């Protein structure tokens, strides 16, 4: 799979293509979700925002991460992850998730949060978080966490809040 795609850090020039892919993959109004309010005015974690291009240089997928806090602890908010509809089912989403999680470990992050489908993300080790609340409207059953360091979610509870913009 990795020989079919070139994974690289998203660059400023990729922005329009990635946004177009997100528009294609997600329902209209995606930017009105609560996770987008947590991103407003906060820079993404650049080193973890990846794009996947095929051998022709065509954008096939992307993944982004944003810093947030839960109970004053730093947390990575994964999302969105997108794969072009013509490339879905090839394992590209899994590749983006696995590569970025491994990189997050190397960068010293301890925990990851996302809002998503437990059956899909569970295969990567994400589990439902208890005691962690996303701003409404968010289904609490879709709030999932992953420990990059054993025990990293132990005792971490509260509302997910924006990362201080000055620190991003």
Q: What pLDDT does residue 168 have? A: 45
Looking at residues 57-68, what average pLDDT do you find?
97
| Percent over 90 (pLDDT), the chain | 79
Q: What pLDDT does residue 1 have? A: 57
Q: Average the pLDDT over each of 31-40, 64-73, 91-100, 106-115 and give the range with the smallest value.
A: 31-40
Share in percent of the chain as helix, strand, coil (round to 5): 35, 30, 35
Q: Judge: domain 6-167, CATH 3.40.50.720.
A: no
Q: What pLDDT does residue 61 have? A: 97
How many Cβ atoms sit within 10 Å of the Cβ of residue 96?
A: 24
93, containing H or E segment: helix 92-106
Beta bridge partners of 118: none
- pLDDT digits 0-9 by tens, 122-141: 999 999 999 999 988 889 99
Q: What does pTM read for this prediction? A: 0.92
């Amino acid at each position: 799979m990795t020989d079919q795609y070139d994974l690289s850090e998203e660059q400023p020039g990729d922005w329009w293509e990635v946004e177009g892919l997100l528009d294609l993959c997600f329902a209209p109004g995606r930017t009105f979700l609560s996770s987008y309010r947590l991103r407003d005015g906060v820079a993404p974690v650049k080193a973890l925002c990846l794009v996947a291009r095929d051998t022709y240089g065509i954008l096939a997928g992307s993944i982004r991460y944003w810093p947030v806090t839960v109970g004053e602890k730093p947390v990575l908010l994964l999302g969105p992850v997108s794969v072009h509809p013509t490339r879905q089912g090839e394992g590209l989403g899994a590749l983006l998730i696995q590569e970025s999680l491994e990189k997050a470990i190397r960068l010293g992050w301890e925990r990851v949060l996302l809002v998503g489908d437990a059956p899909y993300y569970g295969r990567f080790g994400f589990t439902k978080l208890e005691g962690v609340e996303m701003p409404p409207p968010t289904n609490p059953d879709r709030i999932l966490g992953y420990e990059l360091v054993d025990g990293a979610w132990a005792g971490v509870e509260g509302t997910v809040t924006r990362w201080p913009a000055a620190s991003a």
